[in-house]
Chains A and B, each alone.
Chain A
Amino acid sequence: MLLRLTLLFLLVGATALAIACSDSSDETLTIYSGRSESLVAPLFEQFTEDTGIDVEVRYGDTAELAATILEEGDNSPADVYFAQDGGALGALADEGLLAAVPEDTLALVPAQFRSPDGVWAGISGRSRVVAYSADLDESELPDSILDFTDPKWSGRIGWAPTNGSFQSFVTGLRQLEGEEGARAWLEGIEANNPTDYEGNSAAVEGVANGEVDVAFVNHYYLYQLIADQGDDFPVRNHFTGDGDPGSLINVAGTAILDSSDNKDLAERFIEYLLAAEAQRYFAQETYEYPLVEGIEIDERLTPLDELNPPDIDLSDLADLQGTLDLLRETGVLP
């Protein structure tokens, strides 16, 4: 019986192996996508239809996929990495695992939304916002994220300290307000007993559930929740805007792996993502900011030039480490 089981197992394994090895063609682009399937799969299908290039996609968490590529090293099957945030791209760049993106493609994206070394390009942007309960009036909210340290917000704030976008925001805060300013803000918010959420969606749900009145999140989760749960979803977005640290823009970005044998296909893929059609897709389907000029945004968003977002290097890991240290010292992270 044991023998029979083992034989069966080996047989099934060998069959699967044969199947797995038989369908690898050269005209296939392998993508590791930290952006979720429900958001980007239609775009990838369109890419195949328009260019004739087949894609194979592994979906996963942005950081876990970055860790996977780090472990795979030169043997990575991936040609392209599509990340939710700049920090993960920076980690791969630091290890020398990324190839240069062609100059003319990079030039489509404003300098602050691409890698300083030219190894990744931002594709779409998300603004930090204050999501607030529809029970509040927007005029009750301060114009700057800095003013939420006021004790009147005690017990009313939600945030997601483990989230990459939140940490980028703190990095921005350190650059704009200095180390001491950032520390004072974190301590001020901690003193207001904020509720920690696992991620942006959970925090917005927390506002909807009445657990907190405001949450510091990325702007686009709200619109997805409205699409899922209906227009009466009781949360609104407040864009602090006008150069406030609270209006920092995070990007989702793409890089080509240095180990890829399909760099030409990968370059065409990034070009495609920065062309008008794909940029419009991000504006309309994921409610994000297109990063290429001349694309209309969702009417509920404040335009980028009015937000006047602070300019920081989103992939600088040395900075990220400093942010994590600060978050631990202030007791925001365990």
Chain B
Amino acid sequence: MAIDLRAIAPGAIRTQAPPLVTILAGIVAIAMLLPLVYLVIRAAEGGAFVETVTDRSTIRTLVRTCFLAAAVGVGTLAISLPAAWLTAATDLPLRRLWAVLLSLPLVFPSYVGALAMIGALGTRGMLQDLLGPLGVGTVPRIYGFEGAWLVLTLFTFPYLMIPLRAAISGLDRTTEDAARSLGASPLGAFFRVTLPQLRPAIAAGLLLVTLYVLSDFGAVSLMRFDSLTRVIFIEYKSSLDRSAAASLALLLVAVAMLIIWAEAATRGRARYHPGSARRTNRITTLGPWKFPALAFCASVAFVSLVLPTSVLVYWVIRGLDAGQSVDFLGSAAWNSVQAATLGAIACLAAAMPIALLSVRYPGVMARTIEKISYSGYALPGISIALALVFFGANYVPALYQTLPLLIFAYVVRFLPQALGASRTSLLQTNPKTEEAARTLGAHRARVFGRITMPQVLPGLSAGGLLVFLTVMKELPATLLLSPIGFDTLATRIWSTTNEGLFTQAAVPAILLVLISAVPTTIMVWREQRIT
């Protein structure tokens, strides 16, 4: 249902965006271009760009990588859609608890997730220990495509589930009621009325998942799946060949742009929902369906949260048994929280002008700025970290390896997580209310603060949470760009797993989960109060 905005609110749409919004969005977009500029410089130095990206094995790797991204997209949708709907819009028992539990798998760095899965399902893993006495000889091997797919699906589905929940909470369900009153079955109404309204959120979430898969190194390396990012890392690690790595990274950006373009294409018909200002957030009664619904949530939570956590706990116990001691990680934990909080705030602040521009003043410029802001997200963290090392050390040495530059790096890496949520929630607000306030004489900034912000806040906090959880586990930029001596839980986990010291790695990993549970819980509970 294409809606002609001018027909709804004649004269309400300015074609010209306020200059402040445009300028802010432009500044953010230019910042996001830095990694690309760096990659082009490095790729050009080598002079073998075309040969590198058209190499047969590169093409094969590219196809393999895209296939993995698509498969993970399908997997995460299959988990997220029911999970989001059950925890946001039904009378599922303990639904807020399930919402928290099903958001938390996001905090496992993918290399920890992969290690834990190998620990649980590997040939000497916990599952084998449990099943061995029952006569099960060997559990199947989980390496390769299947392993990478499993780990990435289990630990990235919240990137889709969290914004989808926010969108479902913000849904105008009166249309669904109307469809039901006209004789549609519950499922029919869901698929024909509700789902189309969720399409922007689904597309935005899938975009986050697939681009994350493109950029991931931890899971593919431990599962030994040769994705493009793994090949880029091999270039850096083996031959310090920055130019070949940069050429491949540019190829990755090109793929990302295709995916982003595809996502934008699905948006065409879903530009704006004229929901009434007051929502009636009715709860669906599950009845006997409660039991399969509970079983579904419990099994997802078990595999993606309980299982990896128990592997971690098992490592701690085994290590203490072998005489290892464990450190208290107060300063690392505090640094993680500080970096993640500032990262989330900075990403939201940077996303807002871009989202406003793209939702309220769509046009060529808005589209371009928005797409540019996604370019960093698909790149391996090491490429972005090195780009900012290059610009930071040589052009702003006073800021190099300080907290502000680190936070800036997080914005370059993770802005799209905040952007998707900001866009989706702005789409669900009605500009007519703002126009009314304007005609009553309120200043533009006041309208934004009093009318727009309160309406988009649930969506924004979902986006902020995504960034928070992602920064908690961020590694490459933190290692290279943080103030010296600034260790985080993620860097602790990395330095110890690297040496095979699993006991020492498990403690910060458990802390990571526990700390992340706090903002997740607060957000889920507050969101319920709002509706």
Minimal beta-carbon separation of B26 from chain A (angstroms): 15
A106: interface (CB < 8 Å) = no
**B238 part of interface (Cβ distance < 8 Å):** yes
Complex CA–CA separation, A225 to B448 (angstroms) = 57
Please give, as numbers and ranges, the residues of chain B lying within 8 Å of A52 by CB-CB distance. Answer: none
Q: Indicate if the CB atoms of A228 and B324 lie closer than 8 Å.
A: yes
Looking at the assembled complex, report how far the CB atom of B37 sits from the nearest CB atom of chain A, in whole angstroms: 13
Q: Across the two chains, which residue of chain A brings its CB closest to B403?
A: A16
CB distance from B444 to the nearest CB of A (A): 11
CA distance A230 to B476 in the complex (A): 32
Taking CB as reference atom, which chain A residue is nearest B111? A198
- A68 to B387: give the CA distance in the assembly, Å: 9
Classify the interface of chain B: helix, strand, loop or mixed: helix
Question: Do the beta carbons of A56 and B237 come within 8 Å of each other?
Answer: no
A252 to B234, CA, bound (A): 20
Contact of A1 among B386, B448, B479 (CB under 8 A): B448
Q: Which of B122, B141, B242, B504 has the most C-beta atoms of chain A within 10 angstroms of its own C-beta?
A: B122
Once the chains bind, are A61 and B501 in contact (CB under 8 Å)?
A: no
B85 at the interface (CB under 8 A from A): no
- Given the known interface contacts A64-B382, A334-B57, the answer about A3 and B499 at a Cβ–Cβ threshold of 8 Å is no
The residue from A16, A39, A324 contacting B499, defined by CB atoms under 8 A apart? A39
Tell whether, in the assembled complex, residue A68 and residue B500 are in contact, meaning their CB atoms are under 8 Å apart: no
Flag whether B40 is at the interface (Cβ < 8 A): no
CA distance A197 to B224 in the complex (A): 7
Asked whether A61 lies within 8 Å of B479 as measured between CB atoms, the reply is yes
Beta-carbon contact of B479 and A71 below 8 Å: no
- A333's partner among B221, B234, B321, B485 (CB-CB below 8 A) is B234
Contact in complex: B389, A225 (CB < 8 Å): no
Q: Which residue of B lies closest to A230 (CB)?
A: B322
A38 touching B495 in the complex, CB below 8 Å, given contacts A17-B402, A225-B500, A229-B319: yes
Q: A21-B398, A198-B222 are in contact. Are A64 and B479 (CB under 8 A)?
A: yes
B501 pairs with A334, CB closer than 8 A: no
Asked if B329 is at the interface (CB within 8 A of a chain A CB), the reply is no
Does A320 touch B at the CB level, under 8 Å? yes
Task: Fill in one digit per residue for B351-371: 1 if any A CB lies within 8 Å of its CB, else 0.
Answer: 011000000000000000000
Chain A residues 309 to 332 lying within 8 A of chain B, measured CB to CB, are 317, 320-321, 324, 328
Residues of A within 8 A of B382 (CB): 64, 67
Say whether B348 contacts A67, CB under 8 Å.
no
Q: A73-B393, A230-B318 are in contact. Are A38 and B349 (CB under 8 A)?
A: no
Residues of A within 8 A of B93 (CB): none
Interface 1/0 per residue, A288-299 and B, CB below 8 Å = 000000000000
Interface pair B386/A68, CB less than 8 Å apart: yes
| Interface of A: prevailing SS | helix
Whether B404 and A16, one on each chain, are in contact in the complex, defined by CB atoms closer than 8 angstroms, is: yes
Q: Which residues of A contact B399 (CB under 8 A)?
A: 17
**B386 CB contact (under 8 Å) in A71, A91, A221:** A71
Shortest Cβ distance from B491 into A: residue = A59
Asked whether, in the complex, the Cβ of A70 is within 8 Å of the Cβ of B499, the reply is no
Is the beta-carbon distance between B221 and A198 smaller than 8 angstroms? yes
A202:B222 contact, CB within 8 angstroms = yes
Q: How far is the CA of A306 from the CA of B503 in the complex (A)?
A: 35
Contact check, A320 vs B500: say whether CB atoms are below 8 A apart. Answer: no
Bound-state CA distance A196–B221 (Å) is 10
Chain A 1-48 interface residues, beta-carbon cutoff 8 Å to B: 1-3, 5-6, 8-9, 12-13, 16-17, 20-21, 30, 36-39
Q: A5-B352, A228-B502 are in contact. List 11 more A-B contacts (CB 8 A).
A: A8-B345, A9-B345, A17-B398, A57-B484, A67-B236, A162-B237, A198-B221, A210-B124, A229-B319, A230-B318, A324-B238
Q: Which of A's residues lie within 8 Å of B, judged by CB? A: 1-3, 5-6, 8-9, 12-13, 16-17, 20-21, 30, 36-39, 56-61, 63-68, 70-73, 75-77, 87-88, 91, 162, 164, 167, 196-199, 201-202, 204-205, 208-211, 221, 224-225, 227-231, 317, 320-321, 324, 328, 333-334
Closest 10 CB pairs of A and B: A201-B500, A16-B403, A209-B124, A230-B322, A13-B404, A72-B393, A20-B402, A63-B237, A71-B390, A75-B393
- Which B residues lie at the A interface, using CB under 8 A? 57, 61, 122-125, 141, 221-222, 224, 226, 230-231, 233-234, 236-240, 242, 318-319, 321-322, 324, 342, 345-346, 348-349, 352-353, 382, 385-386, 389-390, 393-394, 397-404, 407, 445, 448-449, 453, 476, 479-480, 483-485, 487, 491, 495-504
A-B contact pairs, 9 of them (CB 8 A): A13-B403, A36-B495, A39-B499, A64-B479, A71-B390, A72-B390, A73-B393, A162-B237, A225-B500
